[in-house]
Chain A
């Protein structure tokens, strides 16, 4: 199954290479990996989606922990969280299809960000299901190009006072 790991790492050159090298060396499959700076410029947050059973996930986590630049790993697969992905789609258009494509985009709250002579560029954020649905609806018109960012995720804030909040750690 798919697991979503959020990994806090030191914001240093080579950290991404270390993580990528570890995954390939140990034969783990990455579905997607995103990385960017956090509110603390010394730290970056990676969101890694991995395929595998519990045993694989346990090894991934432990091996990641051995990297000195890795500070904290959380498996948020089963935590209440918000996951998002950004997609850019360049879809073929002509006079007949343009209105229909714009209408579909509106329904999905997607934005048309570029208009060309025979193509539209559409931008949308959402979770997997929503993005997959839009892509499938647009596919019949002809997809010229498709770029996805990979998932980012954030755990929801606790709704009562008893739970610890993890945001302080930075």
Chain B
């Protein structure tokens, strides 16, 4: 069957089981969109800015576990994807990114809308391709989907010149991939796992530090079994939220810069830290020299390059977390650890995650708790980046994997709305909330129309404090309250804005209205709802370990420091 390159691209996508693609047309991809015009079985979602396409594909991938796909044209279309690609790369999200390119004859001549996308994306893709022969397309797509979704997942970019899209070729989709330089290790080294099992069995004060890798490898059941069997408390990174139920007595919640006091204290006192599918980000560890100072560190990760990158581990295992844990759990001896658990419970009592619940203002933490109540913990919580993100991370009590979707590594403001669109597309059965700030929501507000167009009942909860709150908090704490460029004195009327887009806009100015308005929002099922919560303007995210600081320097609510615990 002879097909054009554009038709081949679509056939490849269909062969990979792709149903939805997010994109924006332009000169060099017109042939692709022409083929799409008469294509059945693929739904194209037109975003309003290419960055939105990348984030939507990313949110789709995180919510479903499948590969997200986005398309943009050459030049500015492609460069607008860059933030989204970097975001997916930092958080190991499987994505295939298709960009148009000028014709092969025009390459390297600064042709209109030419930009060297493969070079630009070397450091932010798992791999990328510039296709120079139409015959290579099927193999390249097969490899790209394989690379994106196996091992440590990540974005793969395919740059396709316009003449390759129009050239004709026979099409058959390869059944197998053969990439000589790519063989991810799934099974851990058995002798090493035995060594680790011995250490876990002997540990007096063990702590599990679980990251996004646990969710990617679907290792929640194994993690739960291990934690319960040996009474090991579990803390998670931001990326790991939901991999261990936070309503479980052994849960420590999140660790790190905005982690709970008890998570950070437990790590500080632990004699064994079991790190699963995590990269020891600086936001988790603070100053590495003083991180887990009394602990031996076991590091289990599928990416060998993560072992020893940020923190030295004498006990590494390279492998898929699920596979390694399956083997490990069999070697462990169940036991109770009453002294250590009692110690943890003492910290939980002394340093609970809290805020001023008596205040008459709308406290952001209260809004998050109410969203938790009304979604019964079953909603998909997407966030932008800033204070609201940390409140959503800390106060929602996450219990399910793939239900918390947030830009972890790159910290991309403007991620939330398009990612929520992708998540809702992938999981129409779920209630999707985008927790936003009044700053972040304005970074990709144009995507609201996409949610309206596709009748997506996303709830956008803007925790509106009139500031770029996270930076303001740093300025308050570390820059003598010099609020440089952080007050958002001039802000749009979000209710009117929502209405202008054809969405529902609701403003909440009183604490007693929060619950009622959330109930109202839940009843709207055919369009997005924008909720403008006027929250306490100078509320801070606590606890907080100052950047590069140590657990002993942790600041709790009310600004009080705690040096002894």
Q: Is the CB of A10 within 8 A of B181?
A: yes
Binding site secondary structure of chain A: helix
Say whether B377 faces chain A, with CB atoms less than 8 Å apart. Answer: no
A71 touching B180 in the complex, CB below 8 Å, given contacts A14-B130, A21-B122 = yes
Query: Contact size class for A?
Result: 20 to 34
A68 — which chain B residues lie within 8 A by C-beta?
126-127, 147, 179, 181-182
Q: Is the CB of A25 within 8 A of B123?
A: yes
Looking at the complex, which one of A21, A58, A62 makes contact with B123 (CB distance below 8 Å)? Answer: A21
A105 — which chain B residues lie within 8 A by C-beta?
none
Of B40-48, B302-310, B355-363, the one with at least 4 CB within 8 A of chain A: B302-310
Say whether B103 faces chain A, with CB atoms less than 8 Å apart. Answer: no
Complex Cα gap A21–B180 (Å): 21
Q: Is the CB of A71 within 8 A of B123?
A: no
Complex Cα gap A20–B307 (Å): 22
Query: Contact size class for B?
Result: 10 to 19
Complex Cα gap A63–B307 (Å): 11
Q: Is the CB of A62 within 8 A of B305?
A: yes
Q: What 1/0 mask marks residues of chain B from 296 to 332 whose CB sits below 8 Å from any chain A CB? A: 0000000111011100100000000000000000000
Q: A62-81: which residues lie under 8 A (CB-CB) from chain B? A: 62-63, 65-71
Complex Cα gap A14–B307 (Å): 27
Q: Is the CB of B305 within 8 A of A59?
A: yes
Q: What 1/0 mask marks residues of chain B from 105 to 138 whose CB sits below 8 Å from any chain A CB? A: 0000000000000110011001100100000000
A25 — which chain B residues lie within 8 A by C-beta?
123
Q: Is the CB of B123 within 8 A of A10?
A: no
Complex Cα gap A18–B305 (Å): 17
Q: A1-34: which residues lie under 8 A (CB-CB) from chain B? A: 9-10, 14, 17-18, 21-22, 25
Say whether A55 faces chain B, with CB atoms less than 8 Å apart. Answer: yes
B147 — which chain A residues lie within 8 A by C-beta?
68
Q: Which residue of A lies closest to B118 (CB)?
A: A14
Q: How far, in Å, is B90 (CB) from chain A's closest CB? A: 14
Q: How far, in Å, is B143 (CB) from chain A's closest CB? A: 8
Looking at the complex, which one of B119, B130, B180, B305 makes contact with A66 (CB distance below 8 Å)? Answer: B305
Binding site for A on B (CB under 8 A): 118-119, 122-123, 126-127, 130, 147, 179-182, 303-305, 307-309, 312
Show 25 residue pairs from A and B whose CB-CB distance is below 8 angstroms, ordered by the A residue. Answer: A10-B181, A17-B119, A18-B122, A21-B122, A21-B123, A22-B123, A25-B123, A55-B308, A62-B304, A62-B305, A62-B307, A63-B305, A65-B304, A66-B303, A66-B305, A67-B127, A67-B181, A68-B126, A68-B127, A68-B147, A68-B179, A68-B181, A69-B181, A70-B181, A71-B180
A-B residue pairs, 6 tightest by C-beta = A62-B305, A68-B127, A21-B122, A71-B181, A25-B123, A62-B304
